[in-house]
Each structure stands twice: as C-alpha cells, then as structure tokens.
Amino acid sequence: MPVKVVIPTPLRQYTGKREFVEIPARTVGEALSGLTSQYGDLRKHLFSDDGKLRSFVNVYVNDEDIRFLQKEQTPVAEKDVISIVPSIAGGMPLRCVCS
C-alpha cells in the first residue's frame, strides 16, 4: 500500500526534484526508511548518526504530528499523506552578562 510522502523544497535536490514520493509502507518508520533507502543522500538530513529522527525534523500524517500519535510506529494506510516539515528556528549569540 503506497503512501505519499511530501518532500520539503530544501530536500528536493536529493529526490531528483520530486515533490512527492510514493512508498509502500505500513508505518511512518517504514515509509521513512523506504524513502532513505531509495534516496540515500536524504538520510543525513533526517536521521542522526545513531539512527534517530533529528530533533528539527517534524513528521506529520495528514495534519497530525507523529509525536502526538505513535511516533515512528504510527500506522499509515493508502491515501495517507506523510509530510516532512523542517523546524524553522534561529536566534542570536547568547548575550554576555559581564559588566
């Protein structure tokens, strides 16, 4: 049962410019591992060296954050859409509090 994975613009350079990739999968974990087997260069952007999903990668099934579902074990079915949404964060150097 293929599910659709939406690739965010900054990562499309690693999926041959594809906006969507269809992957046969029963869980989010299977979909992401299928995706990174097919497009190996994506792996370092999505997973840390120990194989965990990086903290700045958000994954949604339809409109639900998988952190509030069953994380990577979240089941998926045909017609579900998995979105990879990069966390957008930034800031300044921490201020020196010396006098």
Partner 1 sequence: MAIKLTPGHLDAIRRHAAREYPNECCGILLGRADGDSKEVLEAIPLKNLRADRETAQDILPLEDPGHESERNRFLIDPREQLRVEKDARARGLEVLGYFHSHPDHPARPSIYDREHAWPWYSYIIVSVERGEPKELTSWVLAADRSRFDPEPVEMMNPSGASRI
Convert 70-97 to b/e letters by CB count within 10 Å (16 or more is b): eebebebeeebebbbeeeeeeeeeeeee
Using CB under 8 A, which of the segments 24-32, 55-63, 72-80 binds partner 1?
A: 55-63
Whether 37 and 5 have beta carbons less than 8 Å apart is answered as no
Binding test (CB under 8 A) with partner 1, winner from 26, 37, 38, 67:
67
Binding test (CB under 8 A) with partner 1, winner from 25, 29, 35, 60:
60
Helix (H) / strand (E) element for 58: namely strand 57-61
Binding string to partner 1 for residues 6 to 45, with x set by CB under 8 A, is what? --xxxx-x-------------------------------x
Cα–Cα distances (Å) from 77 to 5, 31, 42, 50, 97, in that order, read 12, 11, 23, 28, 53
Using CB under 8 A, which of the segments 22-30, 32-40, 56-64, 70-78 binds partner 1?
A: 56-64
Residues near partner 1, by CB under 8 A: 8-11, 13, 45, 55-56, 58, 60, 63, 65, 67, 83, 85-95
